[in-house]
A = this chain, B = another copy of it.
Amino acid sequence: MARKFNFSAGPAMLPTAVIERAQAEMLDWNGSGMSTMEMSHRGKEYMSIAAKAEADLRDVMGIPDNYKVLFLQGGASSQFAMIPLNLMGDKTSADYINTGMWSKKAIAEAKRYITVNIAADTSDNGFTSVPTQAELKLDPNAAYVHYTPNETIGGVEFDYIPETNGVPLIADMSSTILSRPIDVSRFGMIYAGAQKNIGPAGLTIVIIRDDLLGKATDICPTMFNYATHADNDSMYNTPATYSWYMAGLVFEWLKGLGGLEGMAAINKRKAEKLYAVIDGSDFYANPVAINARSWMNVPFTLADAELDAAFLKGAAERGLVTLKGHRSVGGMRASIYNAMPEAGVDALVAYMQEFEAANA
């Protein structure tokens, strides 16, 4: 058995050390005589697992005490409705920054519940940049400002946190959370599907400032109301217990690597290696503005798209898999989340150079 280097955009690689530990604990967690997925979520053992995971995430991210951390289900796609349903309050509009496919999905769902003001839109350049702070047309009366700090498909990442002058800033961090330190206090709410940098799919983390809770509209389903979950420590109903446990193992692993500072240094190096081989060649190309390039998702095209199939085949033969780009962008996409070892990036870089030499 050889573990592959899996460049999937999500669900994605998990650290091999984490998978090995989950395997070892599978039949019998800590002498309990059962798997964590078999435990009552109300029992002492599972409660300790859940509490430790939250404490470790708070520690790793430096989450202030006036923020609740929720372990929910339904993915970022559910958040797209939950955000307006919970946060509109007595306001009539919200600001959305449109930088790609995931921004657009959030906007489409929000429009069903609230007037959406597009504060900036980079579709003119094919979503290859991020707007500057000066370009943001922010409404001081907006209920909130929503943006997507990292667009998984376009490979575009904000290099700054927008200043919203007191209007709550809401961020879909699904594909960037835990990749580097961030100042949580700048945000009203952060949310992320787990299946990229946190753990298995089916878990969604929401980090929300206390004062934003308790304002849901009348039509908001009980299970879509953040207060429901905040008031019950995410155990109003049975949570995704196993995914929560796995996330806890990932948070522990991150702490062992030196937390987000340590992780950021590795991620920066990995991304720089990959962009260097792309930029150093006329054979590979990435269209994204230098300042807006994602550390996590690196799309690139080959000079001749007819070579794509051969590139993917050769990569797979070397254990480098799930490199095909999203159909809306074409070419390749290497997602290099936290769990992708630097050795995986090195192997990809070596293969890209080899393939170019043989085919350019």
Interface residues of chain A, those whose CB is within 8 Å of chain B, are 1-4, 6, 8-14, 16, 19-20, 22-23, 26-28, 31-35, 37-41, 43, 73-78, 80-82, 85, 109, 112, 193, 195, 200-203, 218-219, 221-224, 236-243, 246, 319, 321-322
Q: Which B residues are in CB contact (< 8 Å) with A8?
A: 38-40, 43
Cross-chain contact B33 with A27 (CB below 8 angstroms): no
| Number of copies of this protein chain within its complex | 2
Q: Which B residues are in CB contact (< 8 Å) with A43?
A: 8, 322
Cross-chain contact B40 with A14 (CB below 8 angstroms): no
**6 A-B pairs (CB sep. < 8 Å):** A1-B27, A11-B241, A37-B201, A81-B224, A85-B221, A240-B240
Question: Which residue of chain B has the shortest Cβ distance to A193 in the bound complex?
Answer: B238
Q: What 5 A-B pairs are tightest by C-beta distance, nearest first?
A: A202-B240, A4-B33, A81-B221, A77-B237, A73-B73
> In the complex, how many angstroms separate the beta carbon of A318 from the nearest chain B beta carbon?
12
Cross-chain contact A241 with B37 (CB below 8 angstroms): no
> In the complex, how many angstroms separate the beta carbon of A14 from the nearest chain B beta carbon?
6
Q: How far is the CA of A3 from the CA of B76 in the complex (A)?
A: 37
Cross-chain contact A34 with B4 (CB below 8 angstroms): yes
Q: How far is the CA of A12 from the CA of B35 in the complex (A)?
A: 10
> In the complex, how many angstroms separate the beta carbon of A6 from the nearest chain B beta carbon?
5
Q: How far is the CA of A13 from the CA of B32 in the complex (A)?
A: 12
> In the complex, how many angstroms separate the beta carbon of A326 from the nearest chain B beta carbon?
10
Question: Which residue of chain B has the shortest Cβ distance to A113 in the bound complex?
Answer: B219
Question: Which residue of chain B has the shortest Cβ distance to A5 in the bound complex?
Answer: B33
Contacting A242 at CB < 8 Å: which of B221, B243, B321?
A: B243
Q: Which of A34, A222, A246 has the most CB of B within 10 A?
A: A34
